Amino acid sequence: METINIRSITLSGIIAALYVAITFLLSAISFGPVQVRVAEGLTLLPIIFPEAIMGLFLGCLLANILGPWGAVDIVFGSLTTLLAAVVTYRFRHSYIAYLSPIVLNAFIVSLYLYVFFRIPYWPTVLTIGLGQSIAVLGVGLPLLRLLKARSKSLPFS
């Protein structure tokens, strides 16, 4: 039982660290109403690793604490990523898993950017949705396929 907890904590920590590192390595495109937060490609990991849910939440929380949008993004952005990760895990055998990070971020992030910063809602839905699509389908999907193909040799599988 102890190794399961250590394994889960370790995998969550690795995912959180990767999320923060990728976000800040590409910080010029990771924040704002027009963004491609490449680290969001990791939001497909709950399909094969349930531990990724907590890692994604913590990684996004840390990235948003260090990011430019303040408390609003820290709370709502991090909770949106948590919700997307939970939905992705829950519907891991469905296309909903692949769409949830895109759709939830597009609509929820755009909503709080509109409410708190008066950034136009519908254009922001489109730009956030496009950025999420690039991250999730362009980065996350190939990563997921690679991990599934090599799952027998992974230390965490």
- Has residue 134 got a pLDDT over 90? yes
Domain positions in the chain: 2-153
- Residue 155: pLDDT band with limits 50, 70, 90: low
pLDDT tens-digit series, residues 6-24: 989 999 999 999 999 999 9
pLDDT tens-digit series, residues 114-132: 999 999 999 999 999 999 9
Phi and psi based region of residue 31 (left: phi greater than 0; alpha: psi -120 to 50; beta: remaining): beta
pLDDT tens-digit series, residues 57-81: 999 999 999 999 999 999 999 999 9
Q: Concatenated DSSP letters for 92-154? A: TTSTHHHHHHHHHHHHHHHHHHHHHH---HHHHHHHHHHHHHIIIIIIIHHHHHHHHHTGGG-
Q: What pLDDT score does 156 carry?
A: 58
Q: What pLDDT score does 45 carry?
A: 98
The whole-angstrom separation of Cα 95 and Cα 1 is 33
Q: What percent of the chain has pLDDT over 70?
A: 94
- What average pLDDT score do residues 36-41 get? 97
Burial class (CB in 10 A: 0-12, 13-18, 19+), 27: middle
Q: What pLDDT score does 151 carry?
A: 76
The CA distances from residue 64 to 6, 31, 48, 49, 79, in Å, are 26, 9, 25, 23, 11
